[in-house]
Amino acid sequence: MRSAVLLFVSGAAFSADVAVLEQIIAKVNGDIITTSEIDRSRKQLREDLQQRGVKGPQMEAALKEREKDFFRDRIDQLLLVQKGKELSVNVEAQLSKYVADLMRQLKIADQEVLARNIREQTGMTFEDWKNEAKNSMLTQRVVGQEVQSKINIRDEDKRKYYEEHQKEFVREERVFLREIFLKTDGKNDAVVEKKAKDLVARAKKGERFGDLARDNSDSDSAQQYGELGGFKKDEMDPVLFAQLYQGGRNYVTEPLKRANGFVIFRVEEVHKPGQAPYEEVENEVMERLFMPKMQPAVREYLTKLRQEAFLEIRDGYVDSGAAPGKDTAWTDPAQLKPETISKEELANQKRRKRLLFIPIPGTSTSVMKQDKDGQPVEEKGESKSKALKAK
């Protein structure tokens, strides 16, 4: 039977009956990166691409394009998480809310059921999954606090961009909506309608429509807080479009009967045809100017963190975000040799007398010497000359 080595650190040669199951490929301050973490990133990307319908040569090309940054991204995350802990960033409340929201979306009341679902879908334990979610929140908070908040877009720059790109802000007539859909399949229609009317009343009293959609809607859009996007006049029933368009922003419909349930709409935004005024598109202009600045600023910050970090990378792995001039050579503990000293050198060191303290001229302090056994001996000294004679 072959032996198994869980972590392969030193790089020393092993006999043929040893199988390497895991290998440390980088040390980042007090943390490590292993081969399985990179493999997990590769597997996750493949699954994401498959869900989007990418296959064959396109799949392989996409994997090849992204693979070169897997290692960089993992180093980025560790550095940001470590910085978050250094800054005492606390995301526990955010994490608890995230777990609770997820359980509501999936209509799960028992956390053990959620843990089982997570293991089945990701292969991760519930604690590992929560730790990944927590680390993701930490990185976002650090980037927001240390990078994003320091990017300043001036009002004059926004207005200048708007004036130079006015043609890009000519709009068609459109309404942007959220929905809550309640199924009646196998249920009493009157009961479902009553619930729908109660939700309308709650929304009109000021409760957040997105939260109501997340917690109550039977539509897939519940995971996006009911968001549907924008619709032109010819993309929906003309009568309903006119009702929503005239209702304007924040308008909430009464429950509308459908073949298999009731739907409630809320108008998020209304675009009138023609040139959009600057005030209506200011946020869009801001985003257009902000995003080109954001990514370079993040990379600059991560380069700074790399320069300050203890970072070692095993041969054969490349950090595509490496800091220029930073020595990240891998140190193999098995190759380190202890410093040695002979008995004669040690004996000479013990016999050598050293003056440990020389008094300041004009003061009356003590001079500390060592006797033949290396023990401190105190002699009273009254001047610099006496201290030097004692030597």
- pLDDT tens digits, 255-278: 999 999 999 999 999 999 999 999
Tell the residue number behind the tokens 């250094």, with chain if given.
86
Tell me the mean pLDDT in the region 220-249.
Answer: 93
C-alpha 221/C-alpha 229 separation (Å) is: 10
Residue 245 above 70 pLDDT?
Answer: yes
Least Cα distance to 315 among 331, 337, 334 occurs for 331
Q: How sure is the predictor about 17, in pLDDT bands with cuts at 50, 70 and 90? A: low
- Per-residue pLDDT at 222 exceeds 50: yes
Tokens of 57: 């040569």
**Of 343 and 267, the one with more pLDDT:** 267
Residue 312 pLDDT > 90, yes or no?
A: yes
Q: What is the mean pLDDT of the chain?
A: 84
- Residue with more model confidence, 49 or 6: 49
Place of tokens 């368009």: 245
Non-local (6+) Cβ contacts of 20 within 8 A are 5, 8, 14
Residue 47's pLDDT band, with cuts at 50, 70 and 90, is confident
Mean pLDDT of 182-197: 93
Residues 239-267, mean pLDDT to the nearest whole number? 95
In the chain, what are the domains? 3-150 (1.10.4030.10), 173-272 (3.10.50.40), 343-390 (no CATH)
Q: Is the pLDDT of residue 253 over 90?
A: yes
Q: Which of 263, 265, 104 is nearest to 181 (CA)?
A: 263
Per-residue pLDDT tens over the stretch 87-137: 999 999 999 999 998 888 788 889 999 999 999 988 889 999 999 999 999
- Res 283: pLDDT: 93
Who wins on pLDDT, 300 or 121?
A: 300
Q: How far apart are CA 36 and CA 44, in angstroms?
A: 12
Paired tokens of 43: 């597997």
Q: pTM for the full model? A: 0.68
